[in-house]
Every structure is written in C-alpha cells, then in structure tokens.
Amino acid sequence: MCVCLCVHACVLLVSKVGVSCTGKFSCSTSTLCFARSAQCDGVSDCADGEDELQCVRLSGRSSVLQINSRGVWGTVCSTNWDHKLGYSACKQLGYSSYISSRSLPLSSVESAFQANLVSVNLSHPDRQQTVKIHNTTFLSKTQCSSESVIVLKCLDCGSRPMFRSRIVGGNVSKPGQFPWQASLHYQNRHLCGGSIITPRWIVTAAHCVYGFATNTMLWAVQVGLTDQPINGVLSRSLEKIVYHARYQPKGLNYDIALLKLTEPLTFNGLVEPICLPNYGERFEEGKMCWISGWGATVDGGETSVSMHSAQVPVLSSRDCSGPGVYQGAISPWMVCAGYLEGGKDSCQGDSGGPLACEESSVWKLAGATSWGYGCAGRNNPAMYTLISHALTWIHQQMEVNSTVGTVYWCTEELCWWQTVLQYC
C-alpha cells in the first residue's frame, strides 16, 4: 500500500477578499477559489480535499453513471467498460457494496444526460477496485460505438419482501410494510424517525439531533419494529452523528442529518434499506407517497405506541407557497406533501422519518419529515427535506466517513481525511 501526498502547483488560487469567485470552484473551509477545471482532476487543491469529492453520481430514472472530470459532468459510454470499475464508483458514492453494472441504449436515456459522453481512462488497469475514477475522455455520440451507457447498482434497496397485501388520520402499519423505518431513541425514549439507506447509515432531520450530537452514547437506533416500547428488536448504537453545517435551529433549510451505526444492519425482509433518488429525478405534483412513524395521532398528543402510516400526495411549491398556506416560506431544500383540506399529516415524533414514493416497483426516499404548523390542519401540509436536493451532501458525507481506504478525523462539523486510494 502506498500513500501519495501531492501538491498541485499549476492551479491558480485567488483570495475571495475583493475578488469574485463567480464561475469558479470555491473551497468552503478557506478563502480560496479556482477554475472549475481543477475540480475532480485527481489532485486536492482545497485543504480538506472537497474538490476531489462529488466526482461520481447516478442520474435520471435509470441510474446512469456520470463522472465529473475537471468540472464537467459526462455520462459513461459502455464501450470498453470494465465491471471492476463499478466497485470503485460505488465506493466514491459512499457505498461499501457493488451489485452490478449494465449497458442501456443511449436512446432510452433522458436527453439531458446524452449531451456529454465519456470513457474512463485507466493508468492502472490491474487495480480498478482501488482507484478513484476521474480521468476520462469526452466522446461524441458517434465515438461511443456501443451506442449505450452504463447503469450502476450499488445496493439492493427499495423492496418489501416480507409485506403481503407522526401520522394523523392514518392506519396502523404492518410488519415489513416500511422495513426502512427506524426509530431514534434518545435516553431510551423514542424521539424521531429515520430511514435506513445502507447497512451503516440512517437519514434523519438535523433538528432531531442538533444540540445532542456530541454524545453518541445516549442514542440508539431501533429497526424492524412496529410497536413501542421495543422488545427484542434489532438495536444499534451510533458511531457518528453528522448534520448539515449550514443548519440553524431557527431556520428551515438544510434540515438533514446522517447517523452512522457502530455495526452494520442485517437485512432480513423486516429490515431493508430504501433507495436514494438519483440526480435529476423528480416526484411530480399529485404523486401518491407514504409517510410513517410513531408520532402523535392528535396535535399536541403523546407519541404513538404503534407505527402509523398514511398515503399523501406531493403538492406543488406554488400551492404550498400561496396565500393562507406558507406564503413564500418554501425553498429548493423542501418538498410539500399532504392535503390542503387537512386530515392526514405527520405530527410530533414523526420528524426525520420517511416520505417514501414507489417508482416502477422500487421505493425511493423523496423526503425526510421536517416541519409544519400543527398537525393535519387546513392549509398546513407538512414540509419535508427534499432528498434529491441533499444528494450531494449525503454522498459526500458517506464518502468522507467511509472506513474503507480512508483515515479521517473530525471536529463537530469539519472533517479532514487522507485518502489511501490511487487515482486512475
């Protein structure tokens, strides 16, 4: 194993003081910015290496693989693709697993992902599983001889194999109906909900953990249950709590957090992960989705003993921002779901839990329960953190805090790491 320490001497760095960074990549932890062509070029220019993160993403309804090379995103052509590269791409997304990669006709991909095609260049073809993908060559459509692109699958997720047949106005949930649902316990009491996205990671809301993130010993995550209090269900302690650095308790944006478990979960039908959405994937107005949790069944009431669930439609930002509703309080970080007439809603204790939507028999995490006025009242639908808007942050945290190939050390909000992966 070798550790490469590199200094990039060629990129032009400028101070933000008195100089515009418009059109450039800006390091969030320093006063430096530089040309976007230095992003994802295999050399760390920011002190914390953030310019070499977010270099891989899955896009569109089919999960096509895209690579950011020198600041430009390109869809990977399947010509000369090596399946061993799939493992490396999944690791860069923060996953510890790799399921498969396959080709998909270019004509089946959304037009937005057909514009730039790339092939991956390997300087170390015998070490595909230990490299970080960044070195690519841009191709025209005619140069992609296979006329197809790569679809990547890192994790089996979004299924309910054991299901056969804060929620106000909802129904009691059955075992296996929402196997990704987690119960976050603080000092042995249910506090919030969460969603399983990998064997080690839970998504929840930042407001659930803000001010309580430093002492992980007081927290536990319970999964595979439908009734509280817990008896014989799977419990995990926490290794790490990470919430968005821009979250403020009096604000409404950036209400997203990740919990890393000390030990991985075993998926068994009653415990399963939900899929994250892909870049560019939208849940259209009117789409019927599900909310679930142990929240109060009436506004101001106690949390529920049984998990409840309800089906709610996705609402447009226009409707939720209108007069008499939230009047302009909606931001790109939020998605609104529920009924303007009231009746079904999330409530106290449901915070952080899932807004789950089914697409082509695959369940995806559209939102994390964030805020609202009261419970199930007229013109007060619930607001959820829009997961597709938080994808970059989620994958970055998973990659930074991966235990595979990385040594990391952190303060409350900032992490520094030294990667021991080679670059191709």
Per-residue pLDDT tens digits for 201-212: 999 999 999 988
**Quick one: which of 290, 288, 261, 302 has its CA closest to 403?**
261
pLDDT score of 324 more than 70? yes
Alpha-carbon gap, residue 171 to 177, rounded angstroms: 12
pLDDT more than 70, % of the chain? 79
Using DSSP bridges, classify how beta strands 201-204 and 189-196 pair: parallel, antiparallel or unpaired. Answer: antiparallel
pLDDT score of 102 more than 70? yes
pLDDT score of 160 more than 90? yes
pLDDT in tens, 108-137: 999 999 989 999 886 554 544 446 777 788
Of the residues 62, 351, 370, 402, which is catalytic?
351
Highest mean pLDDT among 34-48, 69-83, 91-105 belongs to: 91-105
Residues near 424 by Cβ (< 8 Å), separated by ≥ 6? 120, 121, 122, 123, 124, 127, 128, 131, 132, 133, 134, 135
pLDDT score of 79 more than 50? yes
Alpha-carbon gap, residue 404 to 424, rounded angstroms: 18
Residue 306's pLDDT is 86
Rg (alpha carbons) of the chain, rounded to whole number: 22
Mean pLDDT, the chain, integer: 82
Of the residues 41, 45, 51, 255, which is catalytic?
255
Residue 51's pLDDT is 81
The full set of domains in the chain, from first to last, is 56-153 (3.10.250.10), 182-261 (2.40.10.10)
Of the residues 207, 308, 389, 395, which is catalytic?
207
pLDDT score of 264 more than 50? yes
What mean pLDDT do residues 251-259 have? 93
Confidence of residue 403 (pLDDT cuts 50, 70, 90): low
Sign of CA dihedral 402, 408, 409, 415: negative
Sign of CA dihedral 190, 195, 196, 201: negative
Residue 407's pLDDT is 29
Highest mean pLDDT among 7-11, 210-214, 235-239 belongs to: 235-239
pLDDT score of 422 more than 60? no
pLDDT score of 275 more than 90? yes
CB-side neighbour CA atoms (13 Å) of 175:
9
Q: Is 190 a catalytic residue?
A: no
**Is the CB of residue 51 less than 8 Å from the CB of residue 70?**
no
Q: Is 227 a catalytic residue?
A: no
pLDDT score of 172 more than 80? no
Residue 344's pLDDT is 61
Cα angle 40-46-48, degrees, rounded to a multiple of 5: 105
What mean pLDDT do residues 144-148 have? 95
* DSSP state string for 192-236: EEEEE-SSSEEEE-HHHHTTS-S-GGGEEEEES-SBSS-SS-EEE
Q: Is 26 a catalytic residue?
A: no
Confidence of residue 192 (pLDDT cuts 50, 70, 90): very high
pLDDT in tens, 356-399: 999 999 999 999 999 876 665 676 788 999 999 999 999 999 99
Using DSSP bridges, classify how beta strands 72-76 and 117-120 pair: parallel, antiparallel or unpaired. Answer: parallel
**Is the CB of residue 162 less than 8 Å from the CB of residue 176?**
yes
Residue 40's pLDDT is 84
Alpha-carbon gap, residue 323 to 317, rounded angstroms: 12
* 21 or 407, which is more confident: 21
pLDDT score of 23 more than 60? yes
What mean pLDDT do residues 211-226 have? 91
The model's pTM: 0.84
Rounded alpha-carbon distances, angstroms, from residue 131 to 122, 123, 128: 9, 10, 6
CA 390, distance to chain mean position in Å, is 6
